[in-house]
Amino acid sequence: MKIVFSIICLFVGFSTVAHADTVELKKQGSKINVSIDGKLFATYNTSDDLPKPFFSPVRAADGTIITRSLVDPEDHPHHKGIWVAVDEVNEVDFWAEKGKIKNSGVKIVRAKGNPAILKVTNQWLGEDDKPIVTENTVISIYANRLMTYNITFKAGAKPVVFEDTKEGLFGIRLPNGMREKENGSVENNKGVKGTKDTWGKPTEWIDYYGPLNGKVYGVTLMDSPENYKKSRYHVRNYGLFTISPFGDHAYTNKKQPADPKHLKPGQKLNLKYGLYIHSGNTKQGKVADAYKQFLNVSKKKVAQKKPLKQQTKAKKVAAAPYEEKSKALEPIPASAAAASDDCNCAPVRRRRGLFRRFRGRR
């Protein structure tokens, strides 16, 4: 009986280990539901009725929703959950939802694991309903609630200009309570605190945390050193929290010159960002460790090729015995040697003759 009980405990233990730290994606109509260890974490919304795709609601580990409700927002109704949008792309205002960002494809790259991976294709449409740019974004979601966005914009048939603006690009709208103007706090990786001193500044990451229902939760935005330039943060005391590379002039109160980003027809632009949801303040949420994780998992992987010298040497070593034997057997036609599995063709002839003599005796 003790042996049976031990086997059951062992089986349960293995089941628990297999289930822990697992992210799972499930498609349900126009939505992708994300669960972590069997509990709903976030929902990605792609319906054609929406002005753009976005994640909402998004939950902390205990189930608390840390994105502002979409119902009766007190201001800025275009701040929806977690989203990608920016102002003034070829003079179309996608930030304020005057231009439509239409989802044209969702591919679940890895349905279950750590991370689970989702690839979305969104078309940023112009007034002629043709895509100004096509956005292909790979979203990797980890069990510790780190989300990495690998965003690639591809210009359509015409040149594209991302104008210098503070309204963008990737971010989240936090709920009341967490906001700095109530009881929230803001801190960057250098220890600088407050939206006033962190707004518009380039830095590795900024953490925004505050209380909800008696507990403290936080959200961190992270910039990647692999981006074409350093990004700046649109972090406000009323809960808006985004990051963008398109606003040197706007973010410095016009002290720096405008730096719009131009793309030729068909040209691509890649950007990488991280968003991390945690419990507690910056230190308790281990934000610095999460940033190291982001750098590690999002870094560009370079394919390693074998040196040409090694390949040449390997070929010479393998070819040498056959070359030596072929020289010793010059009377044998080259075509006959190539057709045989063994280029030492003289012994083959002797075996063939011996075989014929045995056949004659039979």
Q: Find the mean pLDDT for residues 65-76.
A: 96
pLDDT of res. 50: 98
Does pLDDT of 158 surpass 70? yes
Does pLDDT of 330 surpass 60? no
Averaged pLDDT score across all residues of the chain: 85
Q: pLDDT, tens digit, for every residue of 165-209?
A: 999 999 999 999 999 999 999 999 999 999 999 999 999 999 999
The closest alpha carbon to 44, from 62, 19, 23, belongs to: 23
Count the residues in the chain. 362
Q: Find the mean pLDDT for residues 122-132.
A: 97
pLDDT of res. 21: 86
Does pLDDT of 7 surpass 90? no
Q: What is the DSSP letter of 320?
A: H
Measure CA 163 to chain center: 25
pLDDT of res. 139: 98
pLDDT of res. 300: 81
Q: pLDDT, tens digit, for every residue of 47-57?
A: 999 999 999 99
Q: What is the DSSP letter of 174?
A: P
pLDDT of res. 303: 60
HSE of 168, CA atoms in CB hemisphere, 13 A: 23
CA distance 313 to 94: 58
The closest alpha carbon to 145, from 61, 208, 205, belongs to: 61
Question: Phi/psi at 266 (nearest 5 deg)?
Answer: 85, -5
Beta bridge partners of 25: 34
CA distance 236 to 225: 24
Structure token pair of residue 303: 């394919």
User: 59-89 b/e with 16+ CB inside 10 Å = b?
Assistant: bbbeeebbbbeeeeeeeeebbbbbbbbbbbb
Q: What is the DSSP letter of 362?
A: -
Beta bridge partners of 105: 121
pLDDT of res. 75: 96
* pLDDT tier for residue 20 given thresholds of 50, 70 and 90: low
Does pLDDT of 83 surpass 70? yes
Domains contained in the chain, CATH given = 68-298 (2.70.98)
The closest alpha carbon to 223, from 139, 280, 149, 118, belongs to: 149
The closest alpha carbon to 30, from 113, 102, 109, 110, belongs to: 102
Does pLDDT of 160 surpass 90? yes
pLDDT of res. 301: 72
Q: pLDDT, tens digit, for every residue of 274-314?
A: 999 999 999 999 999 999 999 999 998 766 555 555 544 44
Q: Find the mean pLDDT for residues 20-31.
A: 93
Q: What is the DSSP string of 257-317?
A: PP--EEE-TT-EEEEEEEEEEEESSTTTTTHHHHHHHHHHHHSPPPPP---HHHHHHHHHH
The closest alpha carbon to 209, from 288, 289, 293, 277, belongs to: 277
Q: Quick one: what percent of the chain has pLDDT higher than 90?
A: 77
Q: Quick one: what percent of the chain has pLDDT higher than 70?
A: 78
CA distance 119 to 138: 4
pLDDT of res. 324: 35
The closest alpha carbon to 160, from 99, 95, 100, 90, belongs to: 90
Does pLDDT of 340 surpass 60? no
Q: How crowded is residue 127: how many other Cβ atoms within 10 Å of its Cβ?
A: 10
Does pLDDT of 74 surpass 50? yes
Question: Phi/psi at 128 (nearest 5 deg)?
Answer: -90, 10
pLDDT of res. 262: 98
The residue behind tokens 């439509």 is 100
Q: What is the pTM of this model?
A: 0.80
pLDDT of res. 105: 96
Contact present, 114 and 23 (Cβ < 8 Å): yes
Does pLDDT of 9 surpass 50? no
pLDDT of res. 126: 97
Burial (CB < 10 A; 0-12, 13-18, 19+), residue 154, is middle
